[in-house]
Amino acid sequence: MKLIYKMENRTRRIVIWMPVFLALSIIAGIYLGVILQSKMQLSTKTMTANGANKVGMIMSLIDGNYVDTVDTKKIVESAIPEILKQLDPHTVYIPAKDMVEVGEEMSGNFSGIGVQFSIQNDTIMVIDVISGGPSQKLGIRAGDRIVKVNDSIMAGVKVTNDKVLKKLRGPKGSKVNVSIARKGFAELIPFEITRGEIPLTSVDVSYMIDNKIGYIKVGRFAERTYAEFMNGVFKLDKAGAVQLIIDLRGNPGGYLGAVIKMVNEFLDKGELVVYTEGRTQPRRSFNAEKKGKYLGKKVIVLVDEYSASASEIFAGAIQDNDRGTIIGRRTFGKGLVQEQIPFNDGSALRLTISRYYTPSGRCIQKSYKNGLEDYYGDLGRRYAHGEFEKKDSIHYSDTLKYYTRNRRVVFGGGGIMPDIFVPADTSGLSPYYMKLTQKGLAYQYAFDYSDQNRDELGKLKTGKEFEDYLLQRNILSSFTAYAAKKGIATDPKGLAVSGKIIEAQLMAYIARNIIGEVGFYSVISKIDATLLEAIKAFDTKDMLVESN
């Protein structure tokens, strides 16, 4: 009974005091919550007072109060690209680890050993040696195989381009040991190479098509592009070129300064090249500063759906000033201006601050209002709609009409519409050709043929000489037998459709392997429909505008 009484008494006390305990717990919780909240509010007020935004406040709260330890730097690095996706397609964050590569691309140089290579059958083949570079000075030559770099075997180990570049590139003045296998030598040949500055060229090639037409292809716009371009055009001028074809197909753009100086050479002093304008950026006009050195030459500019940014500025300035004829297909439509803002950790933000406008007032930038996936899917839709096969199917309204200096109508809506449209040439494609292309057999055959016949081919100096030499040796028949051994049976119907293209590619690749880009372009031009249209346009009414 006493035990029962004591238990009942204890229970009674617990029941009596329970509300008190609960009240005290609630009060304590509220008190602690108020203290924590006040601390957070104080922190928030402090950050707000310093101008920090909500993202910064959230990261500060996580860093100061989150239950577990987290890597806030990693969170920020992952979050920044997601935030920027809400803006435009060309505002981007560049992590510190990528800044070196970006800087090399834009400055137009890097430090390395100075070779162009291709990986064939898990072997690094030297395709070409850069003139004046470290490798050329030591006697490394086209056709050599790089077997070892320092102590690492680089053959037969599933080697990739990235792995090779990481091994061969390095700081200027640093050394790298390379072991070379060369035809005719039983032992590997060792070289100790001191890395040097290697230029990334912007002008792929310049050569005379005939005695009056000069051709120059510009692959991108970087710091040295203007100088390279002027050297190329000067050579053509000395060779007698009175008509110029400037090929910007596939050129993704680059430095604004380079393109402005290049366009200047074809305009009169004071003529507008381009202008920029943005929400916080007042209009800024870029005009030709002097009378262009090549103002008197007839000019044709070649473009396609991969010509973007600076390429579009060049084409738009030539077109709107009635200075030349644009031939090809509608350009990409990238007309946003980025400013690069560096951070203390070596990373950077490329922030869009304004838009490019051609002299007539056309905004180059195509719409991106439906998001990134829609934006980058635009080329696929153009292809599906048949735009690559027939003149642009966009239904232009009066609001998209603009007028050149001589009152010709040109159209806006994103990108530059050519004066003369040339469809993508798909007439020579066949299933047989696609199988060969998927396996890269033409490229492989061309390298093997060049390597086995290097001494004889080395006597040839021009694309025409390569064509004559290779046609006499029935190169196409030799290739089809090679492809059959690689598992692609000869298809007479496919050859009837694609034989001309395959043969031209074979000859162009072989010529490139021996005499460089001038060999490739001078041979492949025979099947280049856009270039052939440009050559024809110089002597017909299709040449819409004359030189000044």
Measured CA angle at 71 (ends 68, 72), to 5 deg: 100
What pLDDT is attached to residue 112?
A: 86
Are residues 334 and 309 in contact, defined by beta-carbon separation less than 8 angstroms?
yes
pLDDT of residue 116: 83
The pLDDT value given to residue 64? 86
Give the DSSP H or E segment for 532: helix 529-537
Global pTM value: 0.81
Both tokens assigned to 3: 């035990």
Architecture of the domain spanning 109-199:
Roll (2.30)
Architecture of domain 203-424: Alpha-Beta Complex (3.90)
Give the pLDDT confidence score for residue 31 in this predicted structure: 41
Q: What is the pLDDT of residue 370?
A: 82
Per-residue confidence (pLDDT) for residue 273, from 0 to 100? 96
The answer to whether the 109-199 and 203-424 domains have the same CATH topology is no
Domain ranges in the chain are 18-69, 109-199, 203-424, 431-533
Query: If you write DSSP's letter for every residue of 226-249 in order, what string do you get?
Result: HHHHHHHHHHHHHTT-SEEEEE-T
Q: Which two tokens stand for residue 504?
A: 């031209």
Residue-wise DSSP of 40-62: HHHHHHHHHHTT--HHHHHHHHH
CA 346 to chain CA mean position, Å: 22
Three-state SS at 100: helix
pLDDT score at 543: 65
HEC string of 480-493 equals HHHHHHCCCCCCHH
CA-closest candidate to residue 528, choices 506, 510, 512, 505: 505
pLDDT along the chain (548 residues), means of 10: 39 43 41 42 45 74 87 87 88 84 65 84 82 82 87 80 83 89 85 85 93 95 93 96 96 91 96 94 94 94 94 97 95 90 89 94 89 79 76 62 91 89 88 90 91 92 94 95 94 94 95 92 94 92 59
Q: Alpha-carbon distance 529 to 519, whole Å?
A: 18
Taking the CB of residue 233, how many other CB atoms lie within 10 A of it?
A: 23
Residue whose pair of structure tokens reads 């100096």 in the numeric block = 461
